[in-house]
Amino acid sequence: MTTFDPLILPNGTVIPNRLAKAAMEENMADDDHAPSEALIRLYRRWAEGGAGLMITGNVMIDHRAMTGPGGVVLESDRFGERFSAWAQAARSRGGHVWMQINHPGRQMPASLGQGTLAPSEVAMDLGSFSRQFAVPQAMTEADIADVKARFVKTAVLAERFRFTGVQIHAAHGYLISQFLSPITNKRSDRWGGSIENRARLLVDVIKAVRAAVGTAFAVAVKLNSADFQRGGFSTDDAKTVLAMLNPLGIDLIELSGGSYEAPAMHGQTRDGRTLAREAYFLEFATDISSVARMPVMVTGGIRRYPVAQQVLDSGIAMVGMGTALTLDPDLPNAWRTGAPNAPQLRAIPWKNKVLSSLGYMAMVKHQLRRLGAGKRTDPNVAPVLALLGQQLDTYKRTRRYRRWVKRLDG
């Protein structure tokens, strides 16, 4: 198996190669929180670069529940033309595009002014940064039913607007991941306690989405290989959940890891485990994937062709890349011709893990904005300048969001 062999999914869909643009949070919505021209331009650029699959950044299922300002929201068909243009741009060179659909739970900035829901009233633990997130309210049965219905509605709309699949986000400490983790799920009802109960929301969402969309429409899941926090969602938990998902008609599982509190997706853990510098989660994924009966994708730090091939040689079906394709959107085409491209961001020297993670995300978003504007990337941008620029952008978008949601709910 090589990187440029096609991948046939369980539903019969053929992905033209094994390289995927993994989801990154772009925060590039327009004033209506629909896809902006810059976002559409960005995905056309990735399509030109040769990735077989593109998974969008977070598309929110509820305008009151955002991972950040400037996020795309899909609740109705009101801006269907813009979503269709987004899908068309991403599919313009024969690749597939899946919409990542998500609810943040407690990982929503308090500055957005919205009430925060989560499985249990467990506050974020980010040291001096904790105050940037409100203490969440434990969800009621009605809240849980509403969230399930919203996941289904957004998936149905994504299919209508010509996306070729959805990825249900159950990783990185967002709402479904919060249900899965015993750190954030302290419930004593049918949604908490055993791993079977903690996985109930994920299982119910998958079943409902799969039943509501066509068989040719891919349904994928992003799952943590572990939370990388002591006492959190473990690798054994991941295996148990995967066994539960096997019979549900899932077309791909992407294995990642971490959360805002332990950003292992950026190479940092809180439980003392050391991650490899490239292909962060490969060791965990090869262990977990022995349980999976669907194709598995691994994302995390991959930027060199030999490492991508190593991932496939280990039995993983697809290689996911984020930062590398942000720095070099032509990377798949370059590798196809034998070029040794290995894009890398400037190193961040900061010792504070939370601040370092924020700096990393700011540097990535700096590249996204440049590509969306039709400019070249800037891998050597200073972390402090990128972070300051990101804070200014976030401030402006936060004010815009609060005005927008006030009009919407007014």
Q: Which domains does the chain have, with CATH numbers?
A: 7-409 (3.20.20.70)
Q: Which residue has the tokens 């813009």?
A: 82
For the stretch 26-79, pLDDT in tens is: 999 999 999 999 999 999 999 999 999 999 999 999 999 999 999 999 999 999
Q: What angle, 0 to 180 degrees and rounded to 10, lies between the N-to-C axes of helices 37-49 and 80-90? A: 20
What is the C-alpha separation between 67 and 59, in angstroms, rounded? 9
Residue type, 392: L
What is the C-alpha separation between 98 and 251, in angstroms, rounded? 12
What is the C-alpha separation between 87 and 106, in angstroms, rounded? 29
- pTM over cut 0.95: no
β-pair partners for 102? 60
pLDDT at site 75: 97
R_g (Cα) of the chain, nearest Å: 19
What is the C-alpha separation between 60 and 104, in angstroms, rounded? 8
Spell out the per-residue pLDDT of the chain, length 410, in tens. 899 999 999 999 999 999 999 999 999 999 999 999 999 999 999 999 999 999 999 999 999 999 999 999 999 999 999 999 999 999 999 999 999 999 999 999 999 999 999 999 998 887 777 788 889 999 999 999 999 999 999 999 999 999 999 999 999 889 999 999 999 999 999 999 999 999 999 999 999 999 999 999 999 999 987 666 676 788 889 899 999 999 999 999 998 876 665 554 544 444 334 344 556 567 777 888 889 999 999 988 889 999 999 999 999 999 999 999 999 999 999 999 999 999 999 988 888 877 888 898 899 999 999 999 999 999 999 999 999 999 999 999 999 999 999 998 87
For the stretch 175-194, pLDDT in tens is: 999 999 999 999 999 999 99
What SS3 state is found at 117? Answer: strand
What is the C-alpha separation between 341 and 332, in angstroms, rounded? 10
pLDDT at site 124: 83
Residue ranges of alpha helices (H) inside 213-277 are 235-245
pLDDT at site 270: 42
